[in-house]
Structure 1
Amino acid sequence: MLPKVTITPAAAKFINRIVRFSGLPAGAGLRLAVTPGGCSGYSSEFSAEAAPQTGEQMLETGGVRLFLGAESRLMLEGITIDFTETATQSGLSFINPNQAACGCSSAETAAPPSGVTKIEISAIGRGRPAAPILAS
């Protein structure tokens, strides 16, 4: 069963940019693996992929194709996926309206914002891909 997931326009733009600049054919999507972990409650890994792997299901929402394994589908039920950008980091954040805020004192100083996943900036391009140079 596919989870009910909300993807904000900012997150959709971020995800679609990753997929578009991956060089994969039309129909590609984002493989999203979510596991329990850390103060925020979630840890995630993602990559642009041409198609779902065996055991994954495709969830299309907000103009985005997500390829989700069974554990990720369970963890994402009712979650809103947003894109968070601060002066020092950016990434996807997972907002669970049913989870209480973290109460640990180190969360504000040592931990990144709730659910933020780091990716290398080199993985994201700006603008459109360069047009091929044709020999005359």
Structure 2
Amino acid sequence: MPTSTDTSGAASAVSIAGLTKTYASGFEALKGIDLDIRRGEIFALLGPNGAGKTTLISIVCGIVTASGGRVTVAGHDIVRDYRVTRTKIGLVPQELATDAFESVWATVNFSRLLFGKPPNPAVVEKVLRDLSLWDKRHSKIMELSGGMKRRV
């Protein structure tokens, strides 16, 4: 049964109310997001690197669990009715070449090995510092913003 409706009574394509996401590190990626995307509407999600765009999309698609709030897709709750909602959403990720479950450090180190470079922790550290990724060196690729992933 649809729970979020537009003025005509038809269910919204996506409805988000009070959505929050706080990672284990304490970082608040999303703070009280409210959004209603109606069926047939063309919608663009824009913002600077690290603004939470990928986190928001990942929650709507059921890849990441929200800390709070509610999301419905075609009137179905993404948690309670996850099987139904996942049949209504398609996602094309912005990167396909990296291992999402690997750390930033391991990914950069592996990339060096692909080019025949020997392991060198000092060089990997310099690269990560130069790219402003040193603080994220232990993070998994899937936890990074789109902009950070492109830097990796």
Per the normalisation by structure 2, the TM-score is 0.25
Pick 1 or 2: higher relative contact order, CA cutoff 8 A, min separation 6: 1
- When Rg is computed on C-alpha atoms for both structures, the one with the higher figure is 2
Per the normalisation by structure 1, the TM-score is 0.27
